[in-house]
Structure 1
């Protein structure tokens, strides 16, 4: 895929729609994770290439101004849709029509060159305005309802209409920007034609996440295992706790979840602490709660191995951040991790939900410092070659160019 130059019309005005995942949100909450980082970094990288980006996200606090400059070339527009308070994303569907009306009204007065929606409800909110104003619409799902329902079954709290809505968005937008091969295959199974789908991976800030820099203080144990992410069952922290019982001399640090002062009240923390107690490893498991973004790289550098044992993972940014910091990764062989983690090059891929397999892979790495170093160095090289945000933005821009060129060609013919 070649880089696209905007041409005689100059830089593009890009609308990124991310209804629940604000680029300004603190990470680690139930609904704040990889999508927030993706939208923020993609917006910034597109701005670095000369475009102007407006991120449209729902106002979830009464004190938020309508427009917040994120950085040069990027503004965050807070959309009034529903009460200005935090609402779980699976409860936001009733407010999508209000969100859609606001987008349409805004774009009638100041239309962007193209719209790129993120997550299915953002696509649903973007469709009316894109249809009325004939705006090019691209869409990134970040997660698919078919996959979530397959893995969670009755525990899936998504609206029942989610899968049908995702298919509507996929068939009505100009192009789907999938993040990995597994997602593209899932879309084909949903009936989305393959020629409507392009693949551009998520990225990582290779300047922030680097092997060089401060290292977080370690505990008294010889080895440190680190798991980073939202504290929800599908992320597999219970598998890491169970594996720890087979890894004497190692501590497990779990990063993410609520603020440190609210950890004791968190249901998932309580569940994991019970499991750690039952397994006899409670003294070797530590929960940090949410941490500032700038603390993440030092924490990753402090780990001997980073664990990513999710039941399913639509893409997974944590493996990239760990690899960028030169740390080996042991990840479940699911979703985007099949693309990002190479086994045996940058770490190990293991079956999801298998503590014994996770422990075996980790034990082999802990027993061989030279192997850990080789995997870490290979991971850093892989990230620099494929996943820097400059490369991701260039690939995204190329897809934008293909869609705009196709629109232009149709207009010329008509």
Structure 2
């Protein structure tokens, strides 16, 4: 198949850790690489966000990134990209007139808008992965939500009008149904993790040295919704433990980062600043060692569309304490690979952590079960196989389409 991946802001080439660069970038990159290795011709269309970028950049495995001229050739926050989507879509339409893809797979709602503009003149079916839904973001962020006001309406139109919605977790299917997208039009294929890179027993390398304390780890983008403040508040109830919060800008720039400053103020106020470490951005190659250095990984957002960090932890054989939200409900097997706790409840986080830190054998069982769960359900090979099946069903026509789990 000739597959067009449309990812307007989440380039596979972006450095991870920025406000708008995280799990979606990894998903698009790894899925594209794996589909290319399966023999498909894969092009990822992403916005040109700097002058002088090559028109096309090859990815490992044979996929190609194409930079689309839409809007200024500079970094623009994703929530400000909406006005440039007609230009993005018109460019796709011109390119696809010469090289028509068999299927377009759009990532995020604005990519869906651009993909439908590009696909319509040529009858190209569009598969949509939202990665996050505006209804959920608005519910949890309220007036702090910086999404364009058109977002929810556009998402509803895309969900009802595309050939297929590919959701990453069962919670998203329920949310889509409330938006008027029937479950029969939705397939569920989860995100994945590189189980060869993320594995138990990776040498420590440049990981911050352990102390005599237990180590708790939280990691990801430095944005308030990730809930690192909940982990810090829980730490006050967990004696003899340190908390490493990895991510955000480089260590030298943390002092100027608003979220890092907020978290440090909180840690000082509740008396745990001496037990909170912030190493800043971590080289992706060093993440398996950092995860492996922890006794537990904490994932404490108020909401999470999917969440790759729990998969990375389980792949490394490290138990997870995660909030009972979104994709965590699918990926973390409560009482088997970790614990699910209510969101915004530091006491519940602390209680789960204390119970696990007190039982070495239980942590070991959870870690082994987590690794097995990843190898069974969440390798990129398995994810790409599920996505490939959805693409083929779309090309076969409505009569062949069914849910994929």
Same fold flag (TM > 0.5): yes
For 2:221, the equivalent position in structure 1 comes to: 230
- The Cα of 1:290 is off from its aligned counterpart by 1.4
User: Residues 292, 152 of structure 1: CA spacing in aligned structure 2 closer, same or farther, 3 A cutoff?
Assistant: same
Could you tell me which of 308, 311, 315 is aligned with 1:324? 315
Is the 1:225–1:305 contact (alpha carbons within 8 Å) kept by the matching residues of 2?
yes
Deviations 1:219-267 (A, max 9, x none): 3242110001111111000000000111111111111111222100001
Alpha-carbon distance in 1 for matches of 2:305, 2:395: 27
For 1:30, the equivalent position in structure 2 comes to: 19
Q: CA RMSD in A?
A: 1.3
Q: Note if 1:342 corresponds to 2:324.
A: no
Specify every segment of 5 or more residues in structure 2 that has no aligned partner in the other structure, as ranges.
none
- The Cα of 1:218 is off from its aligned counterpart by 2.5
Q: Note if 1:394 corresponds to 2:385.
A: yes
Alpha-carbon distance in 1 for matches of 2:57, 2:146: 32
Alpha-carbon distance in 1 for matches of 2:334, 2:153: 36
- The Cα of 1:130 is off from its aligned counterpart by 1.4
TM-score (norm 1): 0.95
For 1:281, the equivalent position in structure 2 comes to: 272
Could you tell me which of 179, 182, 185 is aligned with 2:171? 182
Q: Note if 1:246 corresponds to 2:245.
A: no
Deviations 1:14-69 (A, max 9, x none): 11111000111111111111000000010011112111110011111113111000
Could you tell me which of 200, 215, 219 is aligned with 2:189? 200
Deviations 1:172-209 (A, max 9, x none): 11000000000000000000122110100001111111
User: Residues 178, 409 of structure 1: CA spacing in aligned structure 2 closer, same or farther, 3 A cutoff?
Assistant: closer
Secondary structure of residue in 1 paired with 2:59: strand
After the TM superposition, which residues 127-146 of structure 1 pair with which residues of structure 2 at under 5 Å, given as runs?
127-146=116-135
Alpha-carbon distance in 2 for matches of 1:59, 1:286: 36
Is the 1:227–1:307 contact (alpha carbons within 8 Å) kept by the matching residues of 2?
yes
Is the 2:394–2:400 contact (alpha carbons within 8 Å) kept by the matching residues of 1?
no
Could you tell me which of 31, 36, 39 is aligned with 2:28? 39
User: Residues 64, 25 of structure 1: CA spacing in aligned structure 2 closer, same or farther, 3 A cutoff?
Assistant: same
For 1:4, the equivalent position in structure 2 comes to: none
Could you tell me which of 33, 44, 49 is aligned with 1:55? 44
Is the 1:221–1:251 contact (alpha carbons within 8 Å) kept by the matching residues of 2?
no
Alpha-carbon distance in 2 for matches of 1:145, 1:177: 16
Is the 1:29–1:290 contact (alpha carbons within 8 Å) kept by the matching residues of 2?
no
Could you tell me which of 393, 397, 400 is aligned with 1:406? 397
> Where does structure 1 differ by over 6 angstroms across 4 or more consecutive aligned residues?
407-410
For 2:282, the equivalent position in structure 1 comes to: 291
Alpha-carbon distance in 2 for matches of 1:108, 1:221: 63
TM-score (norm 2): 0.97
- The Cα of 1:351 is off from its aligned counterpart by 0.5
For 1:9, the equivalent position in structure 2 comes to: none
Deviations 1:103-126 (A, max 9, x none): 111111111111000000000000
Deviations 1:258-297 (A, max 9, x none): 1222100001100000000011010111112212110111
Could you tell me which of 282, 304, 307 is aligned with 2:295? 304
Alpha-carbon distance in 2 for matches of 1:266, 1:72: 36
Secondary structure of residue in 2 paired with 1:71: coil
Q: Note if 1:155 corresponds to 2:144.
A: yes
Aligned residues: 399
Alpha-carbon distance in 2 for matches of 1:365, 1:205: 26
Specify every segment of 5 or more residues in structure 1 that has no aligned partner in the other structure, as ranges.
1-11
Alpha-carbon distance in 2 for matches of 1:407, 1:76: 30
For 1:14, the equivalent position in structure 2 comes to: 3
Q: Note if 1:352 corresponds to 2:343.
A: yes
Alpha-carbon distance in 1 for matches of 2:283, 2:68: 26
- The Cα of 1:212 is off from its aligned counterpart by 2.7
For 1:269, the equivalent position in structure 2 comes to: 260
Alpha-carbon distance in 1 for matches of 2:88, 2:289: 38
Is the 1:263–1:269 contact (alpha carbons within 8 Å) kept by the matching residues of 2?
yes
For 2:67, the equivalent position in structure 1 comes to: 78
